[in-house]
Amino acid sequence: MKPRLLIVDDEPDILDFLERVFRTDFEVVRASGGHDALKLLESGPVDVLITDQKMPRMTGLELLEAIRDRFPDMIRAPTCPRSRRRWRRWASTSTW
């Protein structure tokens, strides 16, 4: 059974890219924001969470703070906003 990965980002292109990167090794679940992620976390266990830092309504850091105590064993990783441009450029030129 694959570990479950939750990807949180408000940009669909980034969600698509990260899902393509991780889908062979993880069961990928997607959320378009922090509030959606909190709802998904209630529906079942997540082993790894990757979240954008800059999102409307709830930032990635706010999300990480909200889940820190409830899911202490979950691996949590915020993405770096500076890398977005590079990711988009790489994703648009890569063959899947």
- Asked if residue 6 lies in contact with residue 36, where contact means CB atoms within 8 angstroms, the answer is no
Q: Which domain holds residue 60?
A: 4-93
Angle 52-70-47 from CA coordinates, rounded to 5°: 60
Mean pLDDT of 16-31: 96
pTM of the predicted protein model = 0.81
Instruction: Give pLDDT tens digits for 25-49.
Output: 999 999 999 999 999 999 989 999 9
Total domains, the chain: 1
**pLDDT value for 96:** 37
Tens of pLDDT along 70-90?
998 999 988 866 555 655 665
Give the CATH number for residue 48: 3.40.50.2300
